[in-house]
């Protein structure tokens, strides 16, 4: 189990035996669907199982004007959590490409739409990409807004370059289909729990866009009052980590691309297409976590990007629950707005139990110390890493923080380069080992002992930095 303690997880806030602080993340829209800003604490009222709660904490989040006016720096930047330039509190947006629960007849469409998402994002809009396969949960790429590298991470075999236009694109015929398995087995729930645990380590709002052809029952809804133990653990982890889940349906009836051969639908997936309970399950996951269901359509990628952008402005409400009211059951939440004509998207429930902490997963990066890396290639085959730290550059005594940067081979742990810095940035050339698949850059602060790490996928970097002469034109 990823969460400490003998019980299933609760919130990831600091444990307190006298009460629990429950946080509710809300996105408010007007009748035209535009985000509403400028609301105050008094504009909200919040009920917990019908009982009015006092809103004890209140925060309004929006990107600062300076960040919106300035373009992101050029080049390939990658970070272990969303960049926080100019004091921005932007959501941590993660895409989960679920090919384990998506049959081969739907994979070309789902992958092509995720590639389209990468093309629509601006350089200042950052996402991280994970993939759930039959053999487990894998990080495909950490947070970046670089289109070419996201494309190489999502569909590496289908990535081609138009030599004349000097532009990367996706050749849909080259999309590689991977085996799927029976949907909603225990490995799906375990992967969701692991990913929720990882996302709990990011500050601020967390958005998970779960792209799949099958969504299992996680939260009780309607006549469904119980789910199995593994599903409940995943649901509690998502709620405890304050992750808003956006189920993205990639099933038919959207027709496949005309040149893409599509095998006949399996019996399981064919039944799921018209099953109303499937849609109710999607809505239950979205409502319980504060997300939104995104149904399949021809402009699926556009719908995903529009939804991502709608969550850039949000509100966070907090209320305290006394220990004697933490009965372990699932409580329903309801927000009312003083101003008429407004709608809100928020997590509509929580598990009333004592706080639990999350055990870090060493297979993924450590975002305790935020680091930002710019990667460039040199003619001699070495990589030049420009590594920056987030946050303040001084210790409590006013002395510049001293930190150690170490770059290792992801496969065998061999140390390839290291340096010591006292500023915000360290430049370090790295000679990559032959056949190396990835690097791990780690930072340790001398005073605090804090650690930050980030994975640099060499297969993605190699493809995205490929010279036009080496690429396939079309």
Residue 342 has pLDDT above 80, yes or no: yes
pLDDT band at 267 (very low <50, low <70, confident <90, very high): very low
Note the Cα 93 to chain centre separation in Å: 4
The answer to whether the beta carbons of residues 292 and 286 sit under 8 Å apart is yes
- Residue closest to 373 by CA, chosen among 390, 393, 361: 390
Using pLDDT thresholds of 50, 70 and 90, give the confidence band for residue 184: low
Residues 309/27, Cβ–Cβ less than 8 Å: no
DSSP code of 400?
B
160 in Cβ contact with 170 (< 8 Å): yes
Q: Which residue has the higher pLDDT, 362 or 221?
A: 362
User: What is the per-residue pLDDT for 46?
Assistant: 96
Pick from 162, 147, 299, 272: nearest CA to 213: 272
User: 277 or 359: whose pLDDT is higher?
Assistant: 359
Task: Report CA torsion sign: 326, 327, 331, 336.
Answer: negative
Task: With beta carbons less than 8 A apart as the criterion, state whether 21 and 318 touch.
Answer: yes
19-62+313-351 and 371-470 share one CATH topology? Answer: yes
Average pLDDT over residues 386-405: 70
Nearest to 343 by CA among 102, 2, 56, 39: 39
Superfamily of structural domain 65-310:
von Willebrand factor, type A domain (3.40.50.410)
Q: Which residues pair with 97 in a beta bridge?
A: 131, 211
3-state secondary structure of 50: coil
pLDDT tens column, 15-34: 445 678 999 999 999 998 88
The answer to whether the CB of 351 falls within 8 A of the CB of 5 is no
Name residue 330's beta-bridge partners.
351
Q: Is the pLDDT of residue 258 over 60?
A: no
DSSP assignment of 152-217 = HHH-GGGEEEETTTTEEEE-GGGPPP----STT-HHHHHHHHHHHHHHTTS-S-EEEEEEES----
Q: Which of 116, 109, 461 is nearest to 306 (CA)?
A: 116
Length in residues, the chain: 474
19-62+313-351 to CATH, choices 1.20.58, 2.60.120, 2.60.40, 1.10.357 = 2.60.40
Q: Determine the pLDDT at residue 41.
A: 95
Lowest mean pLDDT among 259-263, 309-313, 315-319, 386-390: 259-263
The string of pLDDT tens digits covering residues 273-299 is 445 667 888 888 999 999 999 988 888
Average pLDDT across the chain, whole number:
81
Report CA Rg, the chain. 23
Strands 371-377 and 383-389: antiparallel
Architecture of domain 371-470: Sandwich (2.60)
Quick check: 191 and 218 in contact, CB under 8 A?
no
> String of b and e for 79-108 (b: at least 16 CB within 10 Å)?
bbbbbbbeebbbbbbbbbbbbbbbbbbbbb
61 or 256, higher pLDDT: 61
Residue 7 binned pLDDT confidence (cut-offs 50, 70, 90): very low
Residue among 193, 207, 281, 279 nearest 246 (CA): 207
Cα separations in angstroms, 283 against 276, 292, 392, 419 = 11, 7, 41, 49
Burial per residue of 129-152, b for 16 or more beta-carbon CB atoms within 10 angstroms, e otherwise? bbbbbeeebebbbbbbbbbbbbbb
Tens of pLDDT, residue by residue over 91-120, are: 899 999 999 999 888 898 899 899 999 989
Structure confidence at residue 141 (pLDDT): 95
CA separation for the pair 472, 167 (Å, rounded): 11
**How many whole angstroms separate alpha carbon 175 and alpha carbon 104?**
11
pTM score, two decimals?
0.87
Question: Domain coordinates of the chain in residue numbers?
Answer: 19-62+313-351, 65-310, 371-470
State the pLDDT at residue 472: 37
Q: Which tokens sit at 111?
A: 């992958």
* pLDDT confidence band for 14 (50 / 70 / 90): very low
DSSP sequence for 326-359: --SSEEEEEEEESSTT-EEEE--EEE-S----B-
438-463 pLDDT tens trace: 999 999 988 888 899 999 998 887 76
The residues pairing with 406 across neighbouring beta strands, listed in sequence order, are 418, 442
> Phi-psi region for residue 82, left (φ > 0), alpha (ψ -120 to 50) or beta?
beta
| Of 65-74, 196-205, 434-443, minimum mean pLDDT range | 65-74
């Amino acid at each position: 189990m990823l969460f400490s303690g003998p019980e299933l997880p609760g919130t990831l806030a600091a444990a307190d035996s006298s009460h629990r602080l429950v946080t509710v993340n809300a996105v408010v829209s007007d009748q035209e669907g535009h985000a509403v800003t400028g609301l105050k604490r008094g504009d909200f009222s919040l009920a917990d199982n019908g009982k009015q709660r006092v809103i004890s904490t209140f925060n309004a989040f929006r990107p600062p004007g300076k960040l919106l006016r300035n373009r992101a720096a050029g080049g390939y930047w990658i970070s272990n959590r969303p960049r926080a330039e100019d004091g921005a509190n932007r959501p941590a947006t993660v895409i989960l490409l679920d090919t384990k629960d998506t049959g081969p007849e739907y994979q070309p469409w789902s992958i092509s739409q995720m590639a389209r998402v990468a093309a629509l994002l601006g350089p200042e809009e950052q996402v991280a990409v994970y993939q759930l396969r039959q053999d487990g949960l894998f990080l495909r790429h950490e947070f970046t807004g670089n289109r070419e590298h996201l494309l190489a991470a999502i569909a590496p075999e289908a990535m081609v370059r138009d030599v004349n236009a000097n532009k990367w694109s996706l050749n849909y015929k080259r999309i590689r289909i991977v085996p799927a398995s029976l949907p909603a087995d225990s490995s799906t729930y375990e992967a969701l729990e692991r990913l929720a645990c990882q996302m709990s380590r990011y500050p601020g709002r967390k958005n998970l866009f779960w792209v799949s052809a099958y969504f299992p029952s996680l939260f009780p809804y309607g006549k469904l009052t119980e789910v199995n133990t593994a599903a409940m653990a995943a649901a509690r982890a998502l709620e405890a980590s304050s992750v808003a889940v956006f189920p993205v349906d990639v099933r038919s009836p959207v027709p496949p691309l005309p040149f893409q051969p599509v095998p006949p639908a399996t019996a399981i997936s064919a039944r799921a297409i018209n099953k109303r309970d499937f849609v109710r399950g999607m809505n239950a996951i979205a409502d319980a976590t504060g997300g939104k269901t995104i149904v399949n359509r021809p402009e699926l990628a556009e719908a995903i990007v529009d939804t991502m952008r709608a969550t850039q402005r949000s509100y966070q409400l907090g209320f305290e629950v006394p220990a004697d009211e933490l009965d372990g059951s699932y409580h329903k939440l309801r927000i009312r707005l003083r101003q008429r004509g407004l709608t809100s998207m928020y997590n509509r429930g929580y598990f009333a139990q004592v706080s639990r902490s999350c055990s870090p997963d060493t297979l993924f990066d450590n975002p305790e110390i935020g680091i930002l890396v710019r990667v460039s290639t040199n003619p001699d085959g070495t990589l030049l890493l420009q590594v920056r730290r987030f946050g303040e550059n001084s210790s409590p005594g006013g002395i510049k923080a001293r930190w150690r940067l170490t770059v290792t081979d992801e496969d065998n742990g061999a140390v390839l380069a290291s340096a010591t810095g006292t500023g915000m940035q360290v430049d370090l050339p790295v000679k990559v080992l032959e056949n190396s698949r990835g690097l791990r850059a780690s930072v340790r602060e001398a005073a605090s002992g804090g650690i930050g790490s980030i994975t640099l996928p060499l297969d993605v970097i190699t493809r995205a930095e490929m010279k036009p002469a080496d690429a396939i034109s079309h």
